[in-house]
A and B are shown apart, each in its own frame.
Chain A
Amino acid sequence: MLTTILVASVLLGGAYALMAMGLTLQYGVARIMNLASGETLMGAAFGSFCLFTALQIGPLLSLVLIVPLAFAINWAIYRWLLSPLVRRAKNQGMLEVDSILATFGLLFVIEGAMLAGFGGNYYSYSFLAQPVTLLGHSFGLNRVVAFGVAALVALGLYFGLNRTRYGTAIRAVAVDPVAAGLVAIDVPRAAAFAFALGSALTACGGSLLSMFLTFNASMGVVFTMKALIIVIMGGVGDPRGAVIAAFLLALVETLVAALVDPGLTLAATYLLFVLTLLFRPQGLMGRRA
């Protein structure tokens, strides 16, 4: 029983981490609270759906196409849509408000485009929906694979940020954009890179989640909400915090669903969220402001 709960929560945590890692990078480095995160996720899910049903390209293979595409599109979005906001913002608070409004608008643009293309219908396909036995219990292979990719992405991100020169530069921007500029880091470029990379990670999550979720064009906001909770719980701007928060949330949800009542999972989620805000308002891995 306990092993089932543990494995199930680890798998769910992987899915949650995929939703939140991109957002935390965008908010931490580019200082953009991207409310269109869920729509990016859905866009990638629809992309994978189309490639799978029309061309029989599996979602794992389609990552090769979708992730760079998301990176390019979001680089452009940052350059033309968001960098004017960054330039005119007098302080971080103003940028946050402006970027929330701008990405709120972006949310509707992306959602509208998806609605025009796909209508409001539910979409779903079967990929790797076969059982795989872990510790004596059956789990969906697609969930296990999604977790595996999530783990690879998280490790890649960790080493990229901590062991490379450009990663260090990005972390410097996250800590203090002004000081980073003084030591010859191209702050606008680093911010654009972080924003685009964040969306690419979110798109990667969307492709993977599409293997086992049923989705429609209007569901993005569900994922944005979950990602926001995880990002705030984890501590804004630290991908490690987001990963820990994702697993914690998944563990609590699975425990409550299996041992107490599945009807209380949402309540448990928000209780955990409120407790975090009460006792560690800066988040699990966050720095005190």
Chain B
Amino acid sequence: MRKHLIGTLAVSAALMAAGLVQAQEIKSIKIGTAAAKTGPGAGGAGVTHWPNVKLWVAQVNKGGGILLKSAGNKRVPVELIEYDDRSSNDDAVKAIERLATQDKADFIIAPWGTGANLATAPVFAKYGYPQIAVTSVTDKGPELAKRWPNSFWLLGGGQHMAGSLVELLKKMNAEGKIGKKVAMVHVADGYGLDMVAGARPALKAAGFDVVYDKSYPLGTQDLSPIVNEIKGLNPDAFIAFSYPPDTFGFTEQSKIAGFNPKVFYVGVGGAFPVYRNKFSAATIEGVMGTGGWDVASPKIQDYIKAHKEANGGNEPDAWASSVQYAALEMLQQAIERVGALDRAAVTKELGSGEFDTVIGKLKLKGNVRENPWAVGQWQGGSFYGLSPTNLPGAHTPILKPAWK
């Protein structure tokens, strides 16, 4: 009995000491991140990943840091440890390993890109870090979440996004706004393949007449043969599942060729502010693109303002940027609710809690964000979400006017 008492005392003293030491020792919360700063992925990560990480760290530290009960109910500033994965999945895996083992990061931000998120998922799981994957277009979210319960998938996949696009076209067709002729082209790489795989069955099921369905290799510099051929087919809707350089190329080439379908849809990059800045708001009026947000909501407006201030005047894009920021807000709120740097508890909270973010109330179901934005459209110089049409703030699509 006595022995037991001493034991208990010793344990509780040790625990108290540990608690005390811990309370004194937490000077900063180490947040690790690895994404592309060089290589082919740098362009995309430079728009959606880095500016939002930068903004979030600045915002959190401006407020004193993340509130931790375990640190004596004090705010602890965030210390960012960043690596360039050079657009290589192997490097991303190594960097995440290093963040977990060498740097002993408290939390790690999920990398940029579908491939990198899939490649690093086992590493996140192995070391028990929550992985809030944003810039990752995959329909496998529910399966991945089952396999790696610490992973969360926020952006949706090709099936959802292409399906949502087809649904919109179907609605426009039913309203007599457009005909049934669709021309579709995609880049022969991750995003393009995923989207077209979702679009083909959806278009077929909806009874559309697909008059053109071809791919082009990554880095094609002259898209005029494709645009000219499609123009000759005179489709009602033009769909390009393209990467930013091709998104710009298709737009410029179509304008030059005078190819002006009623629906003009481009892929990644269509929702980038630089897209509007290059062509002017009048030129891209009515252009649809992958992405969308409730741009009129005050939260998004505040976010745009803060993003510009933190990133030298650069606006966020209208697809993944706000979601990336929301993911970081989720992480902060989950840590604060748990009140300690307890990764298992934070992971649990991420999966079960409801979070108040720039993109509205966010509650994951089976670790996946349900019904994310899929299609948006430029109207009067702003990119508005169109589809899924039941989301708050969804605008009505307009037919594309002639190029200006």
Interface members, chain A 229-285 (any B CB < 8 Å): 250, 253-254, 257-258, 261-263, 265-266
Whether A138 touches B40, Cβ cut-off 8 Å, given contacts A120-B46, A122-B245, A262-B185, is no
Are A120 and B42 CB-contacts (below 8 A) given A140-B256, A254-B225? yes
Whole-angstrom CA separation of A124 from B276 in the bound complex: 11
> In the complex, A139 Cα to B258 Cα: how many Å?
10
Spot the interface stretch: A59-67, A190-198, A215-223: A215-223
Contact residues in A for B272 (Cβ distance below 8 Å): 122
Contacts of B249 in A (CB 8 A): 212-214
Pair B224/A8 contact, Cβ less than 8 Å: yes
Whether B50 lies near A119 (C-beta < 8 A) is: yes
B257: chain A residues within 8 A (beta carbon): 131, 138
Chain A binding surface, main DSSP class? mixed
In the complex with contacts A122-B269, A124-B248, A125-B278, A15-B256 CB distance below 8 A: no
Q: Which of A5, A120, A125, A261 contacts B37, CB < 8 Å? A: A120
Given contacts A115-B37, A115-B42, A216-B42, contact A257 B244 (CB under 8 A): no
**Complex CA distance for A119 and B84, rounded to whole angstroms:** 12
A126 with B217: in contact, given A120-B37, A121-B46, A218-B38 (CB under 8 Å)? no
Within 8 A of A (CB), among B37-92: 37-47, 50, 87
Q: How many chain A residues have a CB neighbour from B under 8 Å?
A: 43
A125 to B278, CA, bound (A): 5
Q: Which of B240-258 contact A (CB under 8 A)?
A: 244-245, 247-249, 252-253, 255-258
Q: How far is the CA of A15 from the CA of B249 in the complex (A)?
A: 15
Question: What's the Cα separation between A137 and B232 when bound, in Å?
Answer: 12
**Cβ of B309 under 8 Å from chain A:** no
Contact among A138, A219, A263 for B214, CB-based, below 8 A: A263
Query: Can you spell out 23 A-B residue pairs with CB atoms less than 8 angstroms apart?
Result: A4-B228, A11-B222, A115-B38, A119-B50, A121-B46, A122-B47, A124-B248, A129-B255, A129-B256, A140-B252, A140-B253, A213-B249, A214-B245, A214-B249, A216-B42, A218-B38, A218-B87, A222-B219, A254-B222, A257-B226, A261-B215, A265-B217, A266-B217
Q: Which residues of B contact A (CB under 8 A)?
A: 36-47, 50, 87, 185, 188, 214-217, 219-222, 224-226, 228-229, 244-245, 247-249, 252-253, 255-258, 269, 272, 274, 278-280, 314
Q: A124-B278, A263-B214, A266-B217 are in contact. List 16 more A-B contacts (CB 8 A).
A: A8-B222, A8-B225, A120-B37, A120-B42, A122-B46, A122-B269, A123-B274, A129-B256, A131-B257, A138-B258, A216-B42, A216-B46, A250-B222, A257-B220, A263-B188, A265-B217
